[in-house]
Structure 1
Amino acid sequence: MKALTWHGKHDIRCETVPDPKLEDSRDAIIKVTACAICGSDLHLYNGVIPDMHSCDVVGHEAMGEVVEVGKDAGDLKVGDRVVVPFTISCGECFFCKRGFYSGCERSNPSRSKAMELWGNSPAGLFGYSHLLGGYAGGQAEYLRVPYADVGPVKVPDGMTDEQALFLSDIFPTGYMAADFCNIQPGDTIAIWGCGPVGQMAIRSAFLLGAERVIAIDTVPERLEMARSAGAQTLDFAQDDIYERIIDMTKGRGADACIDAVGTEPLISSGLDAVIDRVKVATFLGTDRPHVLRQAIHCCRNFGTVSVVGVYGGFLDKIPFGSAINRGLTFKMAQTPVQAYLPQLLKRIENGDIDPSFVITHRASLEEGPALYDTFNNKQDGCIKVVLKP
């Protein structure tokens, strides 16, 4: 089959690789009908996620048609259209039983590696390094889905691939980011990053009752898309974000702040951002937490900082004194997608939201490597790429 494979920093290729096979009685094989390039995939593209191997198949946003099922794959049958959560979860362990599917204790065969870095292991993920299981990803013609009796969700008749695809990751992630904020009537939510997850977080904040959303970015197309959803926008290349948010909230700060950027912010103003880049370039640091620092400072007393942007290692110079002295609450996670899927599927069916609004580019797998570069460099108005194998 054809698939997009990783060969090093800025080196994604469309190659022929072996077709996946059933390896367990709970597996299923799907023929991928739509997949997407996620902002998190750019961390792989830029070489900042450890333990990637040459020829690894990438991608964790995928859906398609079931073509083969193991005998214990639940009620799945050949021909079903399904969307596949990016988190691989057994459904039976301590965490899965409590709805914390992204903390699954069984699905990461590289558990010992993850424990060395993070103290414990999260769930395995599709196409996202051998630190998280080394599973082949979904930017391919076919995908093996472990624990298929727990993960894939059947797509209702009448719902298009483009409406359903983002249930795999960015819609649940953006919704979780807003859900973490415990939004109350009248609240102002500030969101850093107007990429795909940020766009979903903007709309989710309004769905959950926010009165005002302040969206922060510098890419014109992203800011325009945020405004089209009703957000007020700030351009970090032109505005002093802290001063503007404090002014807009009459000195109080935002009720909650969402970091939808993570470890690789665009070039930001401020000495701390410069120091971050120097440390990473000289191997004195692993992540660049400029956005997280700013979100902490911009959050009101006893507010919430919601973190859904990807960080990989150790963060430096976090203003924890500000957080503890002002009573901030931090909430963060890799998204337990399975916990959110039923209600979000219903929201799409009810017409509350059509997640396909975020798509700007549609292409074949063969065009994928070039679009990684386009997406990474914020060119051609690229916000979200969907590939049709």
Structure 2
Amino acid sequence: MEFTTLSNNNITIKLVSTTDELRNAVSDLSASQELALDLEFDQNRFTYGFNLCLIQVTAGNGVCYIIDPFEIPDLQPFFSLMENEAIVKIIHHSNNDILLLDKMGCRIRNVMDTDVAAKILNYERSSLATVLKEEFEIEIDKSQQSSNWNKRPLTEQQLQYAAIDVVYLHQVKDKLLAEIERVGRMHWLAEENALLENLRYTESENPHLRLRNASRLTFYDQFILKALYQFRENLGKNLNKPAPYIIPNDALVELASQPDVDIHEWLNHTKGIHGRLKSPKYESKLSEAIVKVKKAAVEQQISHDYPTNQFRRPYRTPETESRKEELTKVQAEIVKQYGEFAGRLIINQSLINEYSYTGKLRCTKKYATTIVLETAASLGIALPQPETGGSAA
């Protein structure tokens, strides 16, 4: 399928939906030094999990390839292209794209993030739509932003929207880099992009404890909640529905706090329960899961005590407040010099709070560390030698 109908642009959109088409697209794209890339994905909105729905990529030569991963069994040729260090990959706000590719086994290399570039230049709003409007006076249609990218066939409007996210990125990159070079912050960008490349997809540890009010449950209730959470995840996978659509988070925590409730009554009087769960088959499975975990809790002698609040802040002392005041002064001076939004890349509230309570200055960015130390010295504030790891500036 091919469209040539992008308004005011001579852009050819080529839909790639077979293995042969993918090989041909990759062969064409491999000859370029810079590629603009974007992914459309679904992250527990319409389907279960974090899933790739569409790939948009262009060499900036008037052709935009849109790769449909649903039709292609093996994306390895594309992954190899992304892992080619000799080719720059221009992406706007790349975090989730990098994480999804990593989840799929692709370690993207040579990333150039135009969203980060905009932040370095102190853009108050760094969305692609804002950058295009401010720098090029281009208005883009975002009506398909909430589109369900799982549906097939794709509409012409969806394909045009998808292409828009990449066809201007070469221009945006050139414009922003020229200004970054002018102000002498290219080393900022290089370090930020390197940090992005090192992002790795990991599953959350004890995700059930991240639910609202889960920390207020007893150890026993949290033990029950963990089993209920896994039950819901398994059902979400089987039905290909986001897990919270099966049982809402607040309802799951509520059930964990009162596992002796009549399940039939609970299912039919709790708001937001998926209809399939109310069927006799799944109601029985849920009842069995609760009986099983309650038995395991007794066998393992799980306590009914409440856990100590591990998220409670340390006590404030004159020393902690003094450290906070010092680093806040440093932050204010950095914002004055570089701007509020660029300043957030250098020093953030998390770093200030940790230094306040621990006396340790944890930095992971070399350029930010240099700026923090030099700014502190100019203010007559003595800071300790920064430590690597932990919270980042």
Instruction: Give the TM interval when normalised to the shorter protein.
Output: under 0.3
| Length-normalised TM-score, structure 1 | 0.20
| Length-normalised TM-score, structure 2 | 0.19
Q: Which has the larger radius of gyration?
A: 2
By relative contact order (CA 8 Å, sep 6+), the higher-ranking structure is 1
Higher-strand-fraction structure: 1
Higher-helix-fraction structure: 2
